[in-house]
Amino acid sequence: MDRLRFGLGLAAALSFGPIAGAAIVFDTNSLAVQMIESPLFGGAPFVLSAPGTQRFTLDLEAGVANVTSDFKGTDLPDPLNPGGFLTYDLYNTPASTTGTVALNGMGTYDIVLTLLFELSITSGPLAGQTFETQQFATFAALGVPLIPFPDGTVFSDPTPPDLVVIFAKTTLPGVYNAGDPIGTSSGRTVTILNVVPEPASLAMVGLAAVVGLTALTRRRPRT
């Protein structure tokens, strides 16, 4: 039984990253939520909720955290079709992926990411129109007990107000030009729904289980 536990434990550790001193890389299913207020989309505040994936790279020795996010939503109000909705991609820009990770005095982890993000419309007559932030937004999870993150871990700005201005990145003739402010974003949270082991990691866990069971069987006394 000891060999079985050792094999499973080793495989679980390796499935999410190498030993201390190297980067830990893992993917998550996550949910990004924010409140938007913009005259372009009717003026009244509304909430966007977009599921998607994230890839985290954490270097505990260097204290550096990186994330690449890819959220896809279906709830952006369509300004040309009242009552209708548009689909969109929501992601942090390639130029802003870096933050910090640190072990605090309580024995838990503080992860702070400062990111720029973009929203690109993917359906309807506005497909291809893109909006961006030019002010970094903070996404922090403080006192996280484990890495990879437990299900339900929430990243948000710990020092409200967290209002940032949204700018047009593209031009819509007669409506706005690239660089024009079109509204604000606030109340941003990203919730980790679950960590997704890579197929190779799952195979490693399975192989360890087989090896452990084989070792256990061989140790059984003959009758």
Q: In Å, what is the CA distance from 191 to each residue of 33, 56, 215?
A: 8, 13, 40
Question: Would the pTM of this model clear 0.85, i.e. be above it?
Answer: no
Cβ atoms within 10 Å, residue 155: 26
Return the DSSP state at 182: E
CA distance 70 to 53: 5
Q: Is the peptide bond before 94 cis (omega within 30 degrees of 0)?
A: no
The backbone region for 179, taken as left when phi is positive above 0, alpha when psi lies in -120 to 50, beta otherwise, is left
CA distance 69 to 187: 18
CA distance 131 to 10: 45
Nearest to 207 by CA among 12, 1, 2: 12
Chain mean position to CA 154: 10
What confidence score (pLDDT) does residue 21 get?
Answer: 53
CB 166 within 8 A of CB 38: yes
Cβ atoms within 10 Å, residue 127: 12
Domain positions in the chain are 19-197
Q: Is the dihedral of CA 137, 84, 126, 168 positive or negative?
A: negative
What confidence score (pLDDT) does residue 95 get?
Answer: 86
Tens-place pLDDT, residues 37-65: 999 999 999 999 999 999 999 999 999 99
Which residues of the chain carry a pLDDT beneath 70? 1-21, 198-223
What confidence score (pLDDT) does residue 145 get?
Answer: 97
- Tell the residue number behind the tokens 């007559």, with chain if given: 125
